[in-house]
Structure 1
Amino acid sequence: MIRIEKTFGTLILLCFLSQLAVAQESINPKLIWAVNKVDLGTVLEEQGLQVAEFQFTHTQDSLFYIETVVTDCGCTTVDYTRDTLRVGESGILQVSFDPSSGAGFFSRMIVVKGNLQGVQDTLYIEGNAIPKSSDPVETYRTRKGDLGFRLSKVNVGEVFANVPKLKQVEVYNFGNTIFYKDSLQFNGPEYISVMQLTDSIMPNDRGLLQVLYDGALKGDLGYFEDQISINWKDSTSYIDLDVLADVFEYYAPFAKDNLKIVPQLVIEPKEIDLRTISSKDIQVKNVVLSNRGRQVLEIKKIQGNCECLRLELPKNSLDPGESIQLKVVFDPKGRKGIDQRNIYVFTNDPLNPVQLFLLKSRIE
């Protein structure tokens, strides 16, 4: 009986070890890719084929070669290292994308299959393709000097303080001057910079500018509108651009178990309805801010969307379980009809670092 039990236990152990070996084999990568996704950014149709390059290293003792590569779109073609690789040797896979295949955001998938069992990796290219305009005057309505823009302002969108945000801006040259990349000059705050992506912007042709917004250098949170200016050497005309951005603090993901430990902001009420009021009467209301977490809550900034608001806070930090009153003063002078004010509270609450409450009214 004892002998049978030992034999049975040995079989179970061998089965477990074989399963473990299979599991380890399945998670050990055969190829190490430098990157598995390439962002081509904004691509103009007339720029022609755009090439993304992926580098890989073979890690197994067996000889390796790429057997097949499959793409999910006829707009992509692939070329790759066809040599047989030994352990430690590297290869390259190039994906060419045709921007004339469609307009707008694109994301294309490339599946790479090798001769070794378990080698089937997935790569991606993405970007934004812009077709050539048949009517530049209608498309680029905002004129700044010889250059035409689609929009009157450059909206960078959401910017997080941990990494700079890039925004490509399409322009059209209505003049006779050639704008060269290495001649571009920029004047603006240190947290914004501008470069020209295309080598030149020829007359009656398009080009790309790139705006970089660094939230860490900005050193502030909330909505901002900055004015910058650009020009090219040997040119006396400056082009003024308004740059819009919403800057936020970045908080890394955290474990679910820490949900009740981290600071938690609760706003009561989230909406104040003043109903019908006179434009001559200043309104004063209080909003309660509470910390339901187990760590200190830091109120980094409170921002309203109008100079008609005055926001008064007795302190900027709340201990666990503490509550304070935010005094909201609204001056409706010069306003009429249905009105809504947005008030944003920026804190170190990692789950909801920015919260909004509303102030509504009908002004007579």
Structure 2
Amino acid sequence: MIRIEKTLYTLLILSFFSQLTLAQDTITPKLIWTVNKVDLGTVLEEQGPQIAEFEFAHTQDSIFFIEKVWTDCGCTTVDYTKDTLVVGESGTLRVSFDPSSGAGYFSRMIVVKGNLMGVQDTLYIEGTALPRASDPEATYKTRKGDLGFRLSKVNVGEVFNNEPKLKQVEVYNFGSNILMKDSLEFIGPEYIQVSQLTEAILPNDRGLLQILYDGALKNDLGFFEDQVSINWKDSTTFIQLEVMADVFEYYAPFAKDNLNIVPQLVIDPKERDLRTIKSTQIQVENVVLSNRGKQVLEIKKVQGNCDCLKLEIPKLTLDPGESIELKVVFDPKGRKGIDQRNIYIFSNDPLNPVQLFLLKSRVE
């Protein structure tokens, strides 16, 4: 009985290692996609179906062809290379999205299955679909000249200095002039560019403008609000547009082993409650900034959310283990009730490049 059990055990072990060896010798064929996600941006319903194109290369020795494609929505249709491919050849997959299928943000999934074992890849398209407005006067409440906007300002959102950020803006032409794409002109800072996406914006119709915000050209960090002037050469339409953005420095991902090596900013305290204060009494607080890392910490910028704050810092570089005090002076004059002041500290701490100190109070 013992001998039989040992024999069975030996056979199981041999079977396991033979399967493991076979698995190691088998190379799973894969496709190399140029991208696996396409952002269609803002899409107007009247623009009709939008096309996202994906390119792929076949890098394995086996002959390959796409066997089947699934989508998660009837709003998408797919056309793809049906030829048989050998190593080194490439193909395309085109996804058509119907923006009339729904309103708002969309994210659609496409699953591609090949004839070879292990080839089942997932692709995505995303964007924002905007349906036609039944009541333009109520929808585009902000008027700038002949143009109507949904909001009074354009918020680009978070911008990192490693690549420009694009923002599409929907506009409605209440005027009588046709606004042609190639006649748009604008004046603004060099880090903001404005273009028209739709070829022409007809009277009583809408179109898309595009704002490009370049964080590297801005060469600063924090929250900013800029103004650009826009006009069309062949019309009398002239507007001023306010553009808001939060600019951050980009830090590439790093290995977990380097977590204790890189600069580390520690703020103490992170919050201070002054409780009840008088509007005539200036408040002074000291915040300790420390470098817990093993590399030099650089304070890039200290920014408050109000002109009522005065921020003083003795130096902008901290050696490993060094601490300094940030002096925060708050003048509550003209304020009343519950108040919160935000102080942002930008540094080269790659894990937490922007940290916040809160100053709370109730002003009498």
Same fold (TM over 0.5): yes
Amino acid at match of 2:316: N
Distance in 2 between the 1:286 and 1:63 partners?
69
C-alpha distance in structure 1 between counterparts of 2:347 and 2:68, whole Å:
51
Is residue 18 of structure 2 the alignment partner of residue 18 of structure 1? no
Which 10-residue stretch deviates more, 263-272 or 59-68?
Answer: 59-68
Per-residue CA distance 1:83-118 (angstroms, 9 max, x = gap): 223333322221111111111111111112222333
DSSP 3-state at the match of 1:64:
coil
Kindly tell me the number of residue pairs found equivalent between the two proteins: 354
- 1:263 partner amino acid: P
Which AA in structure 2 matches 1:323? S
Inter-partner Cα distance in structure 1 for 2:335 and 2:19: 78
Distance in 1 separating the partners of 2:323 and 2:114:
61
Secondary structure of 1:55 counterpart: strand
For 1:228 and 1:76, the matched residues in 2 are separated by 37
- Name the counterpart of 2:118: 118
Q: Which residue matches 2:318?
A: 318
Shift of 1:59: 2.8
Aligned counterparts of 1:225 and 1:192: Cα–Cα separation in 2: 11
- 1:35 alignment counterpart: 35
Corresponding residue for residue 162 of structure 1: 162
- Tell me which amino acid in the other structure corresponds to 1:296: V
Match of 1:269 in 2: 269
Structure 1 residue 237: Cα displacement: 4.0
1:277 CA drift (Å): 1.7
Report the TM-score when normalising by structure 2. 0.92
Partner amino acid for 1:88?
G
1:292 aligned partner: 292
Q: Give the C-alpha shift of residue 61 in structure 1.
A: 3.5
User: Aligned letter for 2:286?
Assistant: N
Distance in 2 between the 1:90 and 1:120 partners? 17
Cα distance in structure 2, aligned partners of 1:252 and 1:341: 31
Unaligned runs of 5+ in 2: 1-12
Alignment of 1:183-262 (within 5 A): 183-262=183-262
Partner of 1:135: 135
| Contact 2:161–2:248 (8 Å) recurs in 1 | yes
TM-superposed deviation, 1:236: 4.1
Structure 1: distance between partners of 2:224 and 2:71: 42
| Contact 2:177-2:235 at 8 Å conserved across structures | no
Structure 1 equivalent of residue 3 of structure 2: none
What is the rounded CA distance, in whole Å, between the counterparts of 2:15 and 2:99 in structure 1?
59
| Structure 1 residue 13, shift from structure 2 partner | 7.7
Deviations 1:126-171 (A, max 9, x none): 1111111111110100001111000000000111111111111000
Instruction: Letter of the 1:20 partner, please give it.
Output: Q
* Residue in 2 that maps onto 1:84: 84
Question: Is there any run of 5+ residues in structure 1 with no aligned partner, and where?
Answer: 1-8
Which residue pairs with 1:73 in the alignment?
73
Distance 1:194 1:264 in 2: 38
The alignment partner of 1:240 has SS state of strand
**Deviation of 1:10 (Å):** 10
Q: Contact between 2:304 and 2:343, CA under 8 Å: does it hold in 1? A: yes
Give the Cα–Cα distance (whole angstroms) in 1 for the partners of residues 301 and 350 of structure 2: 15
Inter-partner Cα distance in structure 2 for 1:294 and 1:287: 22
C-alpha displacement of 1:34? 2.1
Shift of 1:33: 2.1
1:281, CA displacement in angstroms?
A: 1.5
For 1:182 and 1:319, how far apart are their aligned partners in 2?
54
% same residue: 77
Distance 2:109 2:137 in 1: 36
